[in-house]
Amino acid sequence: MVNNMAKGLGIVMFSGTADCFIPLGVLTQTAANLGVPVRVFVTGFALPYFTKNKPEPRFPKEFEDMVPAVHKGLEKMKAPSWYDMLKEAKEVGDVKVYVCSLMAGVVGVEKGDMDPIVDDVVGATFFMQETADYEIIFI
């Protein structure tokens, strides 16, 4: 690393809609490509998509009319899924995915229910400490 950049990137992944999973994948993979460590904290409505029985993310109702064109465009560009981008980012970089312990309790899932992409179920304190010197974004 030769230029100034944040020591890492923290991403609080809250939204459970498909449009928000695209930037999660793109930003995480890009940061990993640049050698920037990433810590993802999964909470809120995003949590079910990080379990073994994950549903397919849905687009928000207000953008419903745009969905066919977006799907077509993604297919045409052969864009990888958010999950594949996250998986690849973990292969090339220092990327960890943590699930919020509070929200896990709220939706009734435990560590054993998580998708293999999840590194651990942690509290907010752990995430804040891990990302103390990082830029944090909220999706």
Contact residues: another protein, CB under 8 A: 1-3, 5, 26, 29-30, 32-35, 77-80, 85, 88, 92
Nearer to another protein, 88 or 119 (CB): 88
Nearer to another protein, 92 or 107 (CB): 92
In the complex, least distance from residue 29 CB atom to another protein, rounded to whole angstroms: 5
In the complex, least distance from residue 93 CB atom to another protein, rounded to whole angstroms: 8
Q: What are the Cα distances from residue 55, in Å, to 31, 33, 45, 50, 101?
A: 26, 28, 12, 9, 20
In the complex, least distance from residue 33 CB atom to another protein, rounded to whole angstroms: 4
Query: How far is 104 from 129, CA to CA, in rounded Å?
Result: 20
Query: How far is 89 from 123, CA to CA, in rounded Å?
Result: 23
At position 120, the amino acid (one-letter code) is: D
Nearer to another protein, 3 or 125 (CB): 3
Nearer to another protein, 31 or 109 (CB): 31
In the complex, least distance from residue 105 CB atom to another protein, rounded to whole angstroms: 34
Query: How far is 11 from 136, CA to CA, in rounded Å?
Result: 6
Query: b/e string for 68-78 if b means 16 or more Cβ within 10 A?
Result: eeeeeeeeeee
